[in-house]
């Protein structure tokens, strides 16, 4: 696995626009899963009267999901191209699942935005594009799916491209960050193989476009940061935190401090996919055994870093946010939940410092009284309990967050300054 560079890609877009089907198609056509597995799913799908779902079912291992026909969890699947080793983060489309999308997208090197040809841009298409942009996904491939349903019509394809172009530009994507590709996930045209019915298409297949993605710079030159996803106790081994190395390099014998728990331990060994690693680098999802730490000393949301460069615990922090979807207005004293790396912490708005023009970033109003949907602003926040957040320009992966309230994402943003708490 190690020879090819590794990229994390997230499939985003409106529910029912065919994300899971497209992922299933990519897995089948790159030889990652075998036809007989698809046939088995197809048979099950037909028995349940959901014939076209067979690809999607490859991603949806859960029984209840099959009954409901929607994707719930973020499923990780891997496949290889000539150039890369990809991990697909399949982000759910349903609104109640947006927070999975948030934790998923914050780890993605690129996103494939799936837009169905017959429907075009929908509400969730917009929400997902905003999130991808705010969470720093720099490369976007827009797959216009269900081309078979619009008769592989080039004019209709171009109309949808125009609509999506307006959307991605409005949130600040530049031309060189976005590529478009027509596909039919169900029929397989132009996914991993030739354009089939679209003789007019002279560009790359979706797989070809994935190969053209740029490898993100490795953040190995930064201090180590590993947000903890889970903590296990393994008999005979001890405490094993699991998480994704975001920056720096994790090595055996390192002394780590877990913040905000403020517990110190020493790395004994590192494991990924049941293999022992000599070191772990950014992008690696690993389990690591730590000497000197008990299972109850640390928890999900903690961040491990070197003792001489501990993760920042915020007393307060200043952030730039974009209000995506708030039913009324947002004022000082508002305390929604912030989702940042693996942490979820309620934070209170203590100052609304500046309102910004979302297109240019220029200040449009000092000390506004309130913020509403569509506003961008600089705000000061106070976490309700100790919480690690870093400046986005120093540690982008630990400086971006989403704000959730009432079962939806109300805003997203990034940290620009941290007033550190004395530990």
User: Of the ranges 64-78, 219-233, 271-285, 338-352, which one carries the lowest mean pLDDT score?
Assistant: 64-78
- Kindly tell me the sign of the dihedral angle through the C-alpha atoms of 54, 59, 62, 67: negative
Rounded to an integer, the average pLDDT of 158-173 is 92
Instruction: Give the residue, 85 or 348, on which the prediction is more confident.
Output: 348
Task: Please check whether residues 200 and 257 belong to one and the same domain.
Answer: no
Q: Which of 277, 306, 335 is the last residue of a domain?
A: 306
Least confident of 33-42, 90-99, 181-190: 90-99
Can you give the CATH number for the domain in which 346 is found?
Answer: 2.40.30.10
pLDDT of residue 56: 57
The residue with greater pLDDT, 17 or 277, is 277
Q: Which residue has the higher pLDDT, 10 or 59?
A: 10
Whether 152 shows a pLDDT value over 80: the answer reads yes
Q: Please give the tally of structural domains in the chain.
A: 3
Instruction: Kindly tell me if the per-residue pLDDT of 380 is higher than 60.
Output: yes
Count of beta carbons in the 10 Å neighbourhood of residue 254: 20
Indicate whether 191 and 87 sit together in one domain: yes
Same domain? For 199 and 224 the reply is: no
Examine the fold and report which residue of 211, 235, 255 is the final residue of a domain before the chain moves on: 211
Q: What is the pLDDT of residue 104?
A: 56
Mean pLDDT of the chain, nearest integer? 85
Please check the confidence at residue 323 and state whether its pLDDT lies above 50.
yes
Torsion angle defined by CA atoms of residues 155, 161, 163 and 169, in that order, rounded to the nearest 10 degrees: -150
Domain identity same for 357 and 247: no
Indicate if 382 and 324 belong to the same structural domain. yes
- Same structural domain for residues 318 and 399? yes
Its sign, for the CA torsion 188, 193, 196, 198, is: positive
| 88 lies in the same domain as 130 | yes
pLDDT at 389 exceeding the cut of 90? yes
Indicate whether 372 pLDDT > 80.
yes
Task: Determine the average pLDDT of the residues in 46-73.
Answer: 51
Rounded CA separation 213/120 (Å): 24
Q: Which of 306, 341, 368 is the last residue of a domain?
A: 306
User: Taking 70 as the threshold, does the pLDDT of residue 102 lie above it?
Assistant: no
Examine residue 146 and state whether it is found in any structural domain, yes or no: yes
- The answer to whether residue 288 is domain-embedded is yes
Among 118-132, 139-153, 276-290, whose mean pLDDT is lowest? 118-132
343 burial level (CB within 10 Å; 0-12, 13-18, 19+): buried
Closest to 312 in 3D by CA, of 226, 422, 388: 388
206/226 same-domain check: no
Higher pLDDT, 152 or 76: 152
Say if residue 206 is in the same domain as residue 296: no
245 and 177 assigned to the same domain: no
Whether residue 206 is found in the same domain as residue 223: no
CA 190 – CA 334 distance, rounded (Å) = 48
pLDDT (tens digit per residue) in 188-231: 999 999 999 999 999 999 999 999 999 877 777 899 999 999 89
Q: How far apart are CA 304 and CA 225, in angstroms?
A: 6
The CATH number of the domain where 114 resides is what?
3.40.50.300
Using a pLDDT cut of 70, give the percent of the chain over it.
85
Residue 1 lies in a domain: no
Range of the domain at 244: 219-306
**This prediction's pTM:** 0.65
The answer to whether position 287 is within a domain reads yes
Q: Is the pLDDT of residue 90 over 60?
A: no
Are residues 107 and 189 part of one domain? Answer: yes
């Amino acid at each position: 696995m190690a020879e090819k560079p590794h990229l994390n890609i997230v499939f985003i877009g409106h529910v029912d626009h065919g994300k899971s089907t497209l992922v299933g198609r990519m897995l089948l056509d790159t030889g990652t899963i075998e036809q007989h597995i698809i046939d088995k799913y197809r048979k099950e799908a037909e028995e349940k009267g959901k014939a076209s779902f067979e690809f999607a079912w490859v991603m949806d291992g859960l029984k209840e999901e099959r009954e409901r026909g929607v994707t719930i969890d973020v499923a990780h699947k891997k496949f290889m191209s000539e150039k890369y080793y990809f991990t697909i983060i399949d982000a759910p489309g349903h609104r109640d699942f947006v927070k999975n999308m948030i934790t998923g997208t914050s780890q993605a090197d690129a996103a494939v935005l799936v837009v169905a040809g017959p429907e075009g841009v929908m509400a969730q298409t917009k929400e997902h594009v905003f999130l991808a942009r705010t969470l720093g996904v720099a490369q976007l491939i827009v797959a216009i799916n269900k081309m078979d349903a619009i008769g592989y019509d080039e004019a209709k394809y171009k109309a949808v491209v125009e609509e999506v172009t307006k959307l991605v530009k409005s949130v600040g994507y530049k031309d060189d960050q976005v590529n478009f590709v027509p596909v039919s996930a169900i029929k397989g045209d132009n996914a991993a193989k030739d354009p089939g019915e679209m003789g007019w298409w002279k560009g790359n297949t979706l797989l070809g476009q994935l190969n053209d993605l740029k490898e993100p710079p490795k953040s190995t030159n930064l201090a180590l940061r590993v947000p903890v996803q889970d903590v296990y106790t393994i008999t005979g081994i001890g405490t094993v935190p699991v998480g994704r190395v975001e920056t720096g390099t994790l090595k055996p014998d390192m002394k780590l401090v877990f913040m905000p728990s403020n517990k110190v331990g020493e790395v004994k060994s590192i494991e990924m996919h049941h293999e022992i690693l000599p070191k772990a680098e950014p992008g690696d999802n690993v389990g690591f055994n730590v000497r000197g730490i008990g299972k109850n000393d640390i928890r999900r949301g903690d961040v491990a870093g070197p003792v001489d460069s501990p993760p920042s615990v915020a007393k307060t922090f200043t952030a730039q946010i974009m209000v995506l979807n708030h039913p009324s207005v947002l004022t000082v004293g508002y305390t929604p939940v912030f989702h940042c790396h693996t942490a979820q912490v309620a934070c209170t708005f203590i100052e609304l410092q500046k309102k910004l023009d979302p297109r240019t970033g220029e200040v449009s109003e000092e000390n506004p009284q309130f913020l509403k949907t569509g506003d961008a602003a600089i705000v000061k926040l106070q976490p309700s309990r100790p919480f690690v957040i870093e400046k986005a320009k120093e540690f982008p992966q630990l400086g971006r967050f989403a704000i959730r309230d009432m079962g939806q994402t109300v805003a997203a943003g990034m940290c620009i300054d941290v007033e550190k708490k004395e530990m």
